Amino acid sequence: MKANSENSQKLGFLLLFVCIIIALLALGSIIYFIASNGIKAFSWTFFTDIPRKSMTAGGVGPAIVGTLYLVLGSVLFSLPLGVITAIYLCEYSPKNFTLNLIRMSINNLAGVPSVVFGLFGLAVFVKLFGFHVSILSGSLTLGILILPGIISASYEAIIAVPQSTREASYALGATQIQTIKKVVLPAALPGILTGMILAVGRAAGETAPIMFTAVTFYSRSYPSSVMNEVMALPYHIYVLMTEGTHPEEQKLIAYGCAFILLILVLAVSSIAIYLREKQRRKYV
Amino acid sequence: MGLSDKIYKYIFMTVALSSFVFLIGIIIVLFSEGLPVLSSTGVMAFIFGKSWYPTSTPPEFGIFPLISASLVVTLGAMVVAVPVGIGSALYIHEIAGVKQKMILKPVVELLGAIPSIIFGFFGMLIVAPFLQDLLHLSTGQCAFTGALILGIMAIPVLCSISEDALSVVPKSYREASYALGANRWQTLWKVIMPAAGSGVSTSIILGISRVMGETMTVLLVTGGAAMIPKSIFDPVRPMTSTIAAEMGEAAVGGAHYHALFAIGLVLFLITLMMNMIAEYISRKYRMKLGQDV
């Protein structure tokens, strides 16, 4: 009986070890294949040039710039909304009904499939508001997608500010809004920024929400206004894999795009995770 | 509270309600844009109709092949992700030391941040040709490959949420089990896992919801035939990739356009239901733990 349970423990732990190895191998091999093939596409012109010879040569400059614009736009839109929502939830601790309503909305919004955001953006921003397929429509759509993440990160950051700090501010005669602006927000800023960086990583890689709202599959120039349609890295990978007639040349460029995107997302996310762990340790 | 404080409060409240407005907006858009097709085809005929020929005359809008494709792919993904994801969580929780934990947890989270287009790209270029050769398939782009890639994608989701659930199980449970003479494995398997059960099942439900809503991966990997799959090695076209692939060619305001929104509605309602179940379970779970501690 004793030996039996010892053996089952050994077997069980072995199985768990196998699980984590499978997980790390599967995900690690993706990074390996993208990196080892993608690096071959890299050159200075790959980052700066426009696509040439119907996307079989040249660079992906417009796609990089397009992705940066979309990410910037989505953060500009959702950061203020997210931070103010978090302030309201933490500092004004609204009555149960309002609190639950907002909480419920955030949780469910977080679970909406990304392609559904694309449909919403198409119907509302592109058609109803008449923004057409543009950086503006795409940024707003992506902005709504990353909003739940920004709210929860900001909420976590603001709620972690010790109550005594607020009380000290009130004791000095500050009003609530002064306390929020001058005491709570500065203290919560690192946490809020971390949430923002995580959201940047998410927004950069999303494809489905911008497919109908922002992107064009080919552009010879850089965007000059928020009403322009743009190329974007993730969509460019999709286009290279599904359109055109030169699969081999296109494959290399697609690998290059995928590697840029992977570096961008992993770099940004690791910075955010590192900062977050550092902040958590500070408060605990 | 001064007057300006009150004004700020109402401004902040209005902004805070934006999440609610967006959620309602999504529901309104999906219903109003999807309704024309639902009423002309009929809800039952739309959901259970066996043929999806949106561009033939007259067009046929039966999305059962698409729903069954989503279900097959999701189920297959869970066969991969549930054991590996939860097993990894158990490993991180029970076996990994402090140092390993400090590395593994962020690494898992980082892997969860890899965009779905990259998984799709990898699946299409590397995994599909590999499986095609290995299993002598007519095409590597099929439900099986899709399920495999989606399963790998879902591992970080399941692992992170399950690990969180395991880590809040009170220490006293473990001590009580040791005191009864159980070893670490028996304690982990028979005491801690069941105690974290609702958290672990939440991770599974959220994983299902995430996988079902995944678009770019299935678009690139599952082939794209809108037929009810007879085998797991058939090419399939799940709901998400149908929307993504066909929106570009559907005339705005036409029946096809509305049908794609109606698919979005079905997809939205399924994932909404999943998320609500997950939230309900985790809320009950927190209450239970609150009483026990």
Amino acid at A38: G
Query: What residues make up the domain containing A123?
Result: 57-283
Partner-chain residue, chosen from A19, A89, A148, that has the shortest CB–CB distance to B83: A19
Instruction: Say whether A19 and B212 touch across the interface (CB within 8 A).
Output: no
Residue A266 within any structural domain of the chain: yes
Residue A191 within any structural domain of the chain: yes
Partner-chain residue, chosen from A109, A177, A211, that has the shortest CB–CB distance to B244: A211
- Looking at every residue in chain B, the average pLDDT score rounds to 90
Residue A246 within any structural domain of the chain: yes
Count of the separate structural domains present in chain A: 1
* % of chain B surpassing 90 pLDDT: 62
Name the residue among B203, B69, B82 with its Cα closest to residue B142. Answer: B69
Which structure tokens are listed for A214?
């922002």
Residue A218 within any structural domain of the chain: yes
Distance from the Cα of B182 to chain A's closest Cα (Å) equals: 9
Instruction: Say whether A23 and B33 touch across the interface (CB within 8 A).
Output: no
Distance from the Cα of B79 to chain A's closest Cα (Å) equals: 13
Residue A40 within any structural domain of the chain: no
Q: Compare all CA atoms of chain A with the CA of B274 and give the residue at the minimum distance.
A: A111
Q: Which residues of chain A have pLDDT under 50?
A: none
pLDDT at residue number B290: 57
Report residue B288's pLDDT band, with 50, 70 and 90 as the boundaries. low
Give yes or no for A42 touching B (CB within 8 A): no
Partner-chain residue, chosen from B29, B118, B272, that has the shortest CB–CB distance to A108: B272
Distance between CA atoms of A85 and A64, rounded to whole angstroms? 31
Asked if pLDDT for residue B263 goes beyond 50, the answer is yes
DSSP code per residue over A28-72: HHHHHHHHHHHGGG--HHHHHSPEETTTTEE--HHHHHHHHHHHH
Give yes or no for A114 touching B (CB within 8 A): yes
pLDDT-wise least confident of B78-82, B196-200, B237-241:
B196-200
Distance between CA atoms of B144 and B121, rounded to whole angstroms? 16
Residue A14 within any structural domain of the chain: no
Q: Is A213 helix (H, G, I), strand (E, B) or coil?
A: coil
Distance from the Cα of B62 to chain A's closest Cα (Å) equals: 19
pLDDT at residue number A119: 96
Q: Compare all CA atoms of chain B with the CA of A9 and give the residue at the minimum distance.
A: B185
Half-sphere exposure of A17 (CA within 13 A, CB side): 8
Amino acid at B171: K
Residue A208 within any structural domain of the chain: yes
Instruction: Say whether A105 and B20 touch across the interface (CB within 8 A).
Output: yes
Distance from the Cα of A68 to chain B's closest Cα (Å) equals: 16
Q: Compare all CA atoms of chain A with the CA of B22 and give the residue at the minimum distance.
A: A144
Partner-chain residue, chosen from A89, A120, A151, that has the shortest CB–CB distance to B29: A120
Q: Is the peptide bond before A80 cis (omega within 30 degrees of 0)?
A: no
User: Count of CB atoms within 10 A of residue B178's CB?
Assistant: 14
pLDDT at residue number A27: 83
Each residue's pLDDT tens digit, A199-249: 999 999 999 999 999 988 787 778 888 888 999 999 999 999 888 776 788
Residue A17 within any structural domain of the chain: no
Report residue B261's pLDDT band, with 50, 70 and 90 as the boundaries. very high
Instruction: Say whether B19 and A85 touch across the interface (CB within 8 A).
Output: yes
B213 and B273 Cβ atoms separated by less than 8 Å: no
pLDDT at residue number B230: 86
| Contacts A–B by Cβ distance under 8 A | 255
Distance from the Cα of B17 to chain A's closest Cα (Å) equals: 6
Each residue's pLDDT tens digit, B44-79: 999 998 889 988 888 889 999 999 999 999 999 999
Asked if pLDDT for residue B250 goes beyond 90, the answer is no
Give yes or no for A5 touching B (CB within 8 A): yes
Distance between CA atoms of A60 and A239, rounded to whole angstroms? 12
The pTM of this model reads 0.92
Distance between CA atoms of A65 and A270, rounded to whole angstroms? 22
DSSP A215: B
Whole-number Cα distances in Å, B159 to A41, B32, B55, B108: 34, 38, 42, 8
pLDDT at residue number A45: 85
Distance from the Cα of A145 to chain B's closest Cα (Å) equals: 10
Partner-chain residue, chosen from A80, A98, A124, that has the shortest CB–CB distance to B29: A124
Instruction: Say whether B189 and A105 touch across the interface (CB within 8 A).
Output: no
- Backbone φ and ψ for B236, nearest 5 degrees, come out as -135, 165
Give yes or no for A27 touching B (CB within 8 A): yes
pLDDT-wise least confident of A1-10, B91-100, B180-189, B248-257:
A1-10
pLDDT at residue number B291: 46
Strands B52-53 and B60-61: antiparallel
pLDDT at residue number B227: 83
Query: Is pLDDT larger for residue A122 or for residue B97?
Result: A122
Mind spelling out the 3-state secondary structure of chain B? CCHHHHHHHHHHHHHHCHHHHHHHHHHHHHHHHHHHHHHHHCHHHHHHCCCEECCCCCCEECCHHHHHHHHHHHHHHHHHHHHHHHHHHHHHHHHCCHHHHHHHHHHHHHHHCCCHHHHHHHHHHHHHHHHHHHHCCCCCCCHHHHHHHHHHHHHHHHHHHHHHHHHCCCHHHHHHHHHCCCCHHHHHHHHHHHHCHHHHHHHHHHHHHHHHHCCHHHHHHCECCCCCCCCCCCCECCHHHHHHHHCCCCCCCCHHHHHHHHHHHHHHHHHHHHHHHHHHHHHHHHHHHHHHC
Residue A127's CATH number:
1.10.3720.10
Partner-chain residue, chosen from B26, B118, B275, that has the shortest CB–CB distance to A30: B118
Q: Which residues of A touch B261 (CB under 8 A)?
A: 119, 123
pLDDT at residue number B198: 86
Distance between CA atoms of A146 and A193, rounded to whole angstroms? 14
Whole-number Cα distances in Å, B134 to A116, B128, B129, B137: 36, 10, 9, 8
Asked if pLDDT for residue B289 goes beyond 70, the answer is no
Partner-chain residue, chosen from B206, B219, B252, that has the shortest CB–CB distance to A127: B252
Give yes or no for A39 touching B (CB within 8 A): no
Distance between CA atoms of A18 and A190, rounded to whole angstroms? 38
Distance from the Cα of B153 to chain A's closest Cα (Å) equals: 8
Q: Which domains does chain B have, with CATH numbers?
A: 19-292 (1.10.3720.10)
Distance between CA atoms of A210 and A134, rounded to whole angstroms? 9
Q: Is A230 helix (H, G, I), strand (E, B) or coil?
A: strand
pLDDT at residue number B293: 33
Report residue B292's pLDDT band, with 50, 70 and 90 as the boundaries. very low
Instruction: Say whether B106 and A273 touch across the interface (CB within 8 A).
Output: yes
A16 and B90 Cβ atoms separated by less than 8 Å: yes
Give yes or no for A159 touching B (CB within 8 A): no
